[in-house]
Amino acid sequence: MNRDLLGIRQLSTDQITDLLRRSDGYFLQLNSIDPFRKSSLLDGRTVANLFFENSTRTKTSFELAEKRLGATSVNLSMQTSSLTKGESLIDTVNVICAMKVDCVVVRHSSSGVPQLLRKHLPDHIRIINAGDGGHEHPTQALLDAATLQAKLGSLKNKKIVIIGDILHSRVARSNMILLNKLGAKVTLVSPLTLTPKYVEEIFGVRVVHELADEIKDASAVISLRIQFERQSRSLFPNLSDFRMRYGLTPLRIMETNAFILHPGPVNRGVELDNEAADSEKSLILQQVKRGVAIRMAVFEWLFEDK
């Protein structure tokens, strides 16, 4: 049976651990004296990158991973494709299949698109979810875990606090699932209006609505971007109020030894002040570096001989 990466929920703890181990090897290689040495793992393979949403970090990271593994990348600009002329998603995918691709990396504003593609694509074509609506973003959660493990070692019983717009965040969902599987203790901090219903019961996390002292004893804090594009109405009074209640301000970061992560792009002065984003506690650039390694590990896992 061929593998896909549609979400973190499909992965066992052993598979997650295996992917993180593989990524460590690629990370060391990328930071070696010859970081641009190419692998031949994907020689002769063609990967189609279907990004229906803009994403500089994720798209570039996948492209670099593909190139460094020897694949041919096909990047489709969906804003100028036949979709704008009325062609359906399935029609477009069928055209791509006729071009004999081996893997599709898809990012879409609607939840469930990777699963829909799985139903319509031939079994031999692998599918990687690069973010679907408010559902999941599995490679982001994997690179976050890799970044945290490099600093904390085992995540078992470590307190990880996720702050901000939980309601619209696929990053939060994938991280909740993955961190729970690795034994971390996850606390969500967000306004009631940005907190999904029944999230405690569904994901096995702790939820609070005031930041207060929550980060003082945390091992790491994952701050999330406010996703204005997914909000049909304002869900909090104003940006100043949000910063005062949930932002990582200079005073707050002085009171904790927690490492700081953010999936990007950062709204500076809202979720993170400059002092937090640029501090020694910030792992944001480490997340970016780990992104290519994780995606290389995913490709290896998908295409290794069985």
**DSSP structural state of residue 155:** -
More confident residue, 295 or 168: 295
Q: Mean pLDDT in the chain?
A: 89
Q: What is the pLDDT of residue 84?
A: 47
Q: What is the share, in percent, of the chain residues with pLDDT greater than 70? A: 90
Under the banding of pLDDT at 50, 70 and 90, the label for residue 228 is low
The terminus-to-terminus CA distance of the chain in angstroms comes to: 9
pLDDT in tens, 133-182: 989 999 999 999 999 999 999 999 999 999 999 998 999 999 999 999 99
Taking the C-alpha atoms of residue 259 and residue 281, their distance in angstroms, rounded to an integer, is 5
More confident residue, 34 or 281: 281
Token code pair at residue 134: 């408010």
Residue 301: pLDDT over 90: yes
Residues 185 and 298 in one domain: no
3-state DSSP call for residue 215?
Answer: coil
Asked if the structure places residue 78 within a domain, the reply is yes
Mean pLDDT, residues 234-251: 80
Asked if the structure places residue 170 within a domain, the reply is yes
Mean pLDDT, residues 260-264: 94
Facing residues of 127 across strands? 104
- Nearest of 215, 220, 224 to residue 195 by alpha carbon: 224
Q: What is the pLDDT of residue 78?
A: 63
Point out the least confidently predicted range of 76-90, 162-176, 240-254. 76-90
Asked if the structure places residue 3 within a domain, the reply is no
Domain residues for 59? 13-136+288-303
Residues 128 and 183 in one domain: no
Domain of 71: which CATH number? 3.40.50.1370
Asked if the structure places residue 96 within a domain, the reply is yes
Q: To which residue do tokens 């992917």 refer?
A: 19
Residues 120 and 162 in one domain: no
From the number of C-beta atoms within 10 Å of its C-beta (0-12, 13-18, 19+), residue 99 rates as: exposed
Residues 157 and 103 in one domain: no
Asked if the structure places residue 2 within a domain, the reply is no
Alpha helices in the chain (DSSP H): 13-30, 56-68, 89-98, 113-120, 138-152, 170-181, 199-203, 239-246, 250-254, 274-277, 284-303
Residues 112 and 179 in one domain: no
Q: What is the share, in percent, of the chain residues with pLDDT greater than 90? A: 68
Residues 113 and 92 in one domain: yes
Q: Is 32 in contact with 262 (CB distance < 8 Å)?
A: no
Greatest mean pLDDT among 6-10, 237-241, 242-246 = 6-10
Structurally, the chain folds into a number of domains equal to 2
* pTM to 2 decimal places: 0.93
Residue 58: pLDDT over 90: yes
Mean pLDDT, residues 29-33: 78
Under the banding of pLDDT at 50, 70 and 90, the label for residue 82 is very low
From the number of C-beta atoms within 10 Å of its C-beta (0-12, 13-18, 19+), residue 4 rates as: buried
88 Rama sector, left if φ>0, alpha if ψ -120 to 50, beta otherwise? beta
Q: Is 52 in contact with 108 (CB distance < 8 Å)?
A: yes
Residues 79 and 170 in one domain: no
Residues 278 and 293 in one domain: no
Residues 122 and 162 in one domain: no
Residues 24 and 123 in one domain: yes
Asked if the structure places residue 32 within a domain, the reply is yes
CA atoms within 13 A on the CB side of 4: 24
- Nearest of 144, 218, 139, 211 to residue 182 by alpha carbon: 144
Point out the least confidently predicted range of 14-18, 121-125, 186-190, 256-260. 121-125
Taking the C-alpha atoms of residue 22 and residue 142, their distance in angstroms, rounded to an integer, is 11
Cβ of 187: how many Cβ atoms within 10 Å?
18
Taking the C-alpha atoms of residue 195 and residue 201, their distance in angstroms, rounded to an integer, is 13
Q: What is the pLDDT of residue 96?
A: 78
Residue 224: pLDDT over 90: yes
More confident residue, 92 or 37: 92
More confident residue, 206 or 305: 206
Mean pLDDT, residues 288-306: 91
Residues 125 and 162 in one domain: no
Taking the C-alpha atoms of residue 294 and residue 64, their distance in angstroms, rounded to an integer, is 11
Q: What is the pLDDT of residue 85?
A: 46
Q: What is the pLDDT of residue 306?
A: 47
Asked if the structure places residue 6 within a domain, the reply is no
3-state DSSP call for residue 1?
Answer: coil
Residues 270 and 152 in one domain: yes
Dihedral over Cα of 82, 140, 199, 119: its sign: positive
Asked if the structure places residue 61 within a domain, the reply is yes
